[in-house]
Structure 1
Amino acid sequence: MKTGTRLPDVTFHTRVRDEAIEGPNPFRWQDVTTGDYFAGKRVVLFSLPGAFTPTCSTYQLPGFENGHADFAAQGIDEIYCLSVNDSFVMNKWAEAQGLKNVKVIPDGSGEFTRKMGMLVDKDNLGFGMRSWRYAAIVTDGVVEAWFEEPGLMDNCPEDPYGVSSPETVLAHLAEQKEPELA
């Protein structure tokens, strides 16, 4: 569906560690653009409804983190996890998950997610506007392959998960590398 689409040009408001800042919160604001994250790289981008939520914290994020070497072996330069959460929340979640390989992208206002057509209302869970669950393989800012969970809708009574799993994305990458039979 979104294969061949260029990612929207957005500026993400992030917080990055700065050793020059003393105290318990040594971070400063740094704006990072879509180009900064994606230009000249082949990456896996996956987006999910929220940091610290059960499926996201138990399966999806740990699966991508633990599978990092397998993705790298398939030609992936970076793995990004995006959520409609602010940078404070995303950084704390990354810390709580012990991330070393996956990088988090805060889409606090949902601008990127809205421009991707993936912003949904999750008021039924008290979440407000959030991202529908999806994953993509992105090469130099263009979607190469798209993995969207079924049932995209506001206030979905379920949280489908499988199409955007690390296992599904990795299997797709492995299939692309296999030589075609004559």
Structure 2
Amino acid sequence: MHKITIAGLAAGLVASPAAAQSANDFSGFRLEALGGLDEFEDDEGAVYGAAAGYDIRSGNWVFGATGEITDSSTEECATSVIAAGDEVCAQVGREFYVGGRVGHVIADNLLLYGGLGYTNTRLRIVTTDPTGAETRIASNFDGVRATLGLELAISDNAFARAELRGTALEEDFERGQLIGGLGIRF
């Protein structure tokens, strides 16, 4: 399913407005809204949030920094082997991210980029015993996120992007995301 989605997003970004000319040079301050698919361990949900960043273009190369905050609806549940009958759920909460990216302009209005950065994810652990009583604990987990994306300039200051992300968190938790974004440059 992920391969089909990634191919569809990439084809849509390249094909539909590729003929439109743009003066957007992939540099300057940017703000954007984000949304997409979030996968934590084996369960999927939605991820949504906002990002801000700054890019500098040198020739066909783009160097940038990004800060982001997102939230998620993803939840992973299992029956505990420690306390028989208890259900333990890890609910993915807010995530802070700061990182850098390097890209190459592969067409007048299309940027291919990769990135790497630090992330801090909040997980809420909810344990429910057989009587229905709940215990809730929230913990923050640090990690490293790697990204690969395409950004399409759709006007002088507007852009759209598709990004594939992989995150390795403490305690061997893994997270993957397929994100779409719409933004403006100043």
**Shorter-chain TM-score tier:** under 0.3
**TM-score, length-scaled by structure 2:** 0.23
More strand by share: 2
Larger radius of gyration: 2
More helix by share: 1
